[in-house]
Amino acid sequence: MACKYVRIAGNRRQVGLALGKLARPVMGSYLKQSGTWEALRPWRGHPFVDELAQQAEAALPQIWKELDGLAEGLRMPIKDVLLWHCRGDLLHSSTDGCTSAALRTADGTRWIGHNEDGDPYLYGRCHLVDVALDDAPGYLSFYYPGSLPGHTFAANRAGLVQTINNLRNKQRHAGVPRMFVARAVLDCATLDEAVALLRDLPHAGGFHHTLGAASDARLLSAEVTPGSVSVLDIGRRYGHANHMVHAATRGQAQIITDSSRARQNRIEGLVDAWLPESGSADMLAALLDTEGKLPILRTAKDDPDDENTLATAMFEITDDAVALRVYDRKARPDIALDVMSDPE
């Protein structure tokens, strides 16, 4: 199974504490083998990291409480947990990959699909967390050990859906770390609220956000970088890998890996071939595609970016419901849930 389902409830600190306890058994061994953690260690105690901390706490104090609880649950210094959350803001390349796709079918249903690609060590060691908060919409999110939820694939009880793709941006600016921004989106009730949040916050790093909502007919693609937020209405179909492709952002300094280039070309080719009658089965087939030396579904031990597909998500969005199905490298789901219904 790609991930185990776990329910968590409480205030911000209590939720963070529970997430930390959940990750504690694996966190030490995870970081010990992580090249990303090794690359981050020279940043310990750097004034720029202190600046990122100040920006995060000032802009998103409730989410900072979650980070504080997470550190306690992990039994790690909060400065180390913060440093781990800044990996994509400090390093130009990290082992966070992913491919996303979006489709509007003839009956008006919106579909967002996503391959969560990450450190192969984490295959089978992640969770799908079902979080109930006392001051914000609850949410379902794929959860990497020791990282605040939201920067993977997720949807909240208000019907907002978000999937995230890593952008290897070569800028480094003082601002709110990108993982805090992605987590904050899950507290939004509408697409407009989420876009306003993305536009208003100062950004330290970059992510691509695919966004949809039960209350809104739009599907949105947002490339968010320091000093630039590009939001496009997807229309009927779309695919995105791990580099900037919007006209407004693709000229920025970035790293485009061979895998990201290959997956972008492949997902665009598959998406462009979808017919008006194409549906969720075509999207799932695209995410599970193994064509080529650097395929969309990533299982190779020698993957050049040191990433493998850890789980595949399919979100079905209608005007009053969001359903999530999670797959483990095959066409039959392991987990199927109604996101907007409270868990029994």
Do the domain assignments include residue 321?
yes
- What CATH number does residue 273 fall under? 3.60.60.10
Check residue 97 and give its pLDDT.
83
93 lies in which domain range? 3-337
Do the domain assignments include residue 342?
no
Strands 333-338 and 139-143: unpaired
Torsion over CA of 304, 305, 310 and 311, rounded to 10 degrees? -100
pLDDT tens string, the chain, 344 residues long: the values are 889 999 999 999 999 999 999 999 999 999 999 999 999 999 999 999 999 999 999 999 999 999 999 999 999 999 999 999 999 999 987 777 899 999 999 999 999 999 999 999 999 999 999 999 999 999 999 999 999 999 999 999 999 999 999 999 998 899 999 999 999 999 999 999 999 999 999 999 999 999 999 989 999 999 999 989 999 999 999 999 999 999 999 999 999 999 999 999 999 999 999 999 999 999 999 999 999 999 999 999 999 999 999 999 999 999 999 999 999 999 999 999 999 987 76
Q: What is the number of structural domains in the chain?
A: 1
Do the domain assignments include residue 295?
yes
Check residue 96 and give its pLDDT.
77
For the chain, give the number of residues: 344
CA atoms within a 13 Å half-sphere pointing along the CA-CB vector of 248:
12
* Predicted model pTM: 0.97
Do the domain assignments include residue 127?
yes
Do the domain assignments include residue 308?
yes
Do the domain assignments include residue 280?
yes
Check residue 172 and give its pLDDT.
87
Task: Report angle CA 297, 290, 299 to the nearest 5 degrees.
Answer: 45
Do the domain assignments include residue 344?
no
Taking residue 325's Cβ as centre, other Cβ atoms within 10 Å add up to 18
Do the domain assignments include residue 146?
yes
